[in-house]
Structure 1
Amino acid sequence: MLRRPARDRVALAAALVLPPAVCALLLPFRSWMSNTNAALVLVVVVVAVAVLGRRLAGALAALSATVWFDFFLTRPYERFAITKSADIATAVLLLAVGFAVSQLAARTRELKVIAITDDDYLAQIHHTARLVETAAAPDAVIDQVRRQLVGLLGLNGCRFEYGTLIGHPPRLLEDGSITWGRRRWDADRDGLPGQEVELRVRRGGRFHGRFMLQGAPGAAPPLAARLVAVTLANQVGVAFASVSPVRA
């Protein structure tokens, strides 16, 4: 299974390569296949890329699909020009649907809906997301998530640190795994490490702080619970991003 950085690179490459390749495969059929049907085929390509990668890959696939749809499948062929109003409307819809699908796929993956089957997990995410929408400052969201993490992961305690990173404690990653130094900690077999585990809060490439998780003896939260914990931390990042610098 591809790790996240490698998977992102594959998705970006696919966003550039797959749309023109599929358009080239459709060339023998363009004389009798409607452009609407051809656009639907390209939407499937955009969906596949969006599911594999992140928002950027999906958006890039949508843009690439629209450009090569124009070049290969609309008259005049092999030119970046569209003369028929129906083809223009199809190209615009292809671009709009492609962007929308990429955003939905990224949002679904962000919430880990597929991996989370427990209704209580989903309820916790929903409750925190509602709080993010109404909270005037991130502090209320931090306090809510801190309490949720204690119950969710079976912790003895949990605190939030603002500011720069200090030390190299074990870290809970986006995919629910835990690393300690350069090695991966088997949380399913060994439970949480015997010292505090950091769960970083980022948004838009900016570091806002981290939760420090103190596991109870014998605490071994399942992967689904760890993924929910990551999603809740991401909601704190949304809370930071949604307020102005003065209010923050």
Structure 2
Amino acid sequence: MRIAMGQLASGTDTAANLHAIDGFAARAAAGGAALVAFPEYATYEKKKIDATFPTVAQPLDGKVGTELARIAAHHGIALVAGMVEASPDPARAYNTLVAFGQDGSQLAAYRKVHLFDAQGFRESDFVAPAPATEPVTFDVDGVRFGLMTCYDLRFPEQAQALSDAGSQVLLVCSSWVPGELKTKQWRTLLAARAIENSLYVAGVCQSPPVSVGHSLLAGPMGEVVAELGTVPDVLAADLSPAAVAEVRKHFPTHRQRRIR
């Protein structure tokens, strides 16, 4: 299977962000990708989360979600993107990843579990945590994908739960805040989650200055299969479910785990 990572430089102009998503989805589909993934807050983003996020929040079937579904169906490609979803609390939105199939049908929606209250930021001031923590997965062409968002990457038990739910690929859609050693940590943690669970991990990130860029696909042995730099771009890479099965045969940690 071929998947693509669409590294954006999203801002507050939702129409412009959707136009960029449309263009990258077209390129990914033309290159033979079955799925294209975009970052956290793909449709609305700022250097720091503030009170505007709840004001732009929409239901999943609102104008933003409807346009993402249209893009997926128009190009015949499965699509995952981060959006600001309305929650029952008017002062706080959900930070949501929504996945659409190649026909535009909604496959899954994942609300971020671990909010970024770190490094001087307080995402939880304007974003509500997911009310449920069960793993969220969906299938495309017989491959199971698990959804995680940014800061979730620092919690290995979440990746493990997605692996236990049958995921062969983790999509970590992110806006990884820059700082000391942050790019190194991003690359290291993506590889670590891949090695720990013997699966592929696709980390899809926003570009600087909001984020660090370096979207990459790590293989089930932790190897870097493909990686972008810091500019907005779309990159396709091939993955093999058979490779996941082969690595798990040689390192059967799923069966050997004694602490749960």
Common topology (TM > 0.5): no
For the superposition of Structure 1 and Structure 2, which TM-score range results when normalised by the shorter chain?
A: under 0.3
TM-score (structure 2 length as normaliser): 0.25
Q: Which structure has more strand as a fraction of its residues?
A: 2
Larger Rg: 1
TM-score (structure 1 length as normaliser): 0.26
Q: Which has the higher contact order (CA 8 A, sep 6+)?
A: 2
